[in-house]
Homo-oligomer: A and B are copies of this chain.
Amino acid sequence: MHLSKEAFMSKLVIVGTVAFDAIETPFGKTDKILGGAATFIGLAASQFDTDGAIVSVVGGDFPQEYLDLFTSRELDISGLEVVSDGKTFFWSGRYHNDMNSRDTLVTELNVLESFQPHVPDHYRDAEVVMLGNLHPMVQMSVIDQMTEPKLIVLDTMNFWMDHTLEELKQVISKVNVITINDEEARQLSHEYSLVVAARKIMEMGPEYVVIKKGEHGALLFHEKDIFFAPALPLEEVFDPTGAGDTFAGGFSGYLAKTGDYSFENMKNAIVYGATLASFCVEKFGTERLLSLTPKEVHQRLKQFQNLTQFDIELT
């Protein structure tokens, strides 16, 4: 499949947090910078010139400059509510030396606490919905507002399994694709083997299960089929924040762009997701995504091919 040959483009609705992040890694620390699941998803999806809309909420402290940034990337923000007397969601975390674990230092929900998502009228007929990590009831509300979704992709995390499992299971029963990490897949399925875990999760609703293993890549399961994409081996990971959301944005953005929701095309979507995520971790927050050029993406996709493709002919 050659992306530029594709004229198709579906609308993409993205729901998730838009936030301020303050990040510490062994390489340095940041003040409050732009973050949030919907932010990374949107910036990644916008690499495909998708017709995307962000459904989220921020406070009066959210700079106009960031709103303009979304608009300049052709992301519709009419569903991005600004609560002028509220404060934007704030998260602060510190990564350990191996970058595979982190401590949350601060979580201030602020305007997120009473967030009621509102999908703009002209996006209710979108084919693709990307539910970023949020309270399951917020995710369900977005599903309920869609008139004819063809592909609903759910990202979630262990926090919701711990605290709102029944609500989460309702959402899971309504979606086509779920993306979670390996530990979460084990928690949700009570199975250690990821192959068995994915099968059990498919029985809960989704036809497709994506299990993210961080630096160890991602697996896509569908019926009896499995596809695996490694993470690109990097000299160093500077800041992992947003890598999972960037993956989800590349994945859903590619699918919205191509309008082909088959297993074969999802393989390509996984590759694009992994490729964009490999850029995300090179700098703090959204910095690397914002400087990214199509040529760089193209070069890294070639790297990805060289990394994974081989030539054994089987009859």
Contacts and interface: CB of A to CB of B under 8 A. Distances in A.
A225 B306 contact: yes
Interface residues of A, number: 43
Given A216-B213, A233-B226, A305 B311 contact: no
A165 to B, nearest CB: 24
A307 B268 contact: no
Interface string A122-137: 0000000000000000
A305 to B, nearest CB: 7
Contact of A234 (B2, B193, B225, B230): B193
B216 A233 contact: no
Q: How many copies does the complex hold?
A: 2
A255 B70 CA distance: 52
A308 interface: yes
A314 B267 CA distance: 15
Interface of A: 1-3, 97-98, 192-196, 213, 216-217, 219, 225-230, 233-236, 264, 267-268, 270-271, 298, 301-302, 305-315
Which 9 interchain pairs have the tightest Cβ spacing? Answer: A267-B310, A2-B313, A216-B216, A228-B230, A195-B235, A195-B233, A228-B307, A268-B312, A308-B308
Given A193-B235, A298-B314, 4 more contacts: A229-B310, A264-B311, A268-B312, A301-B312
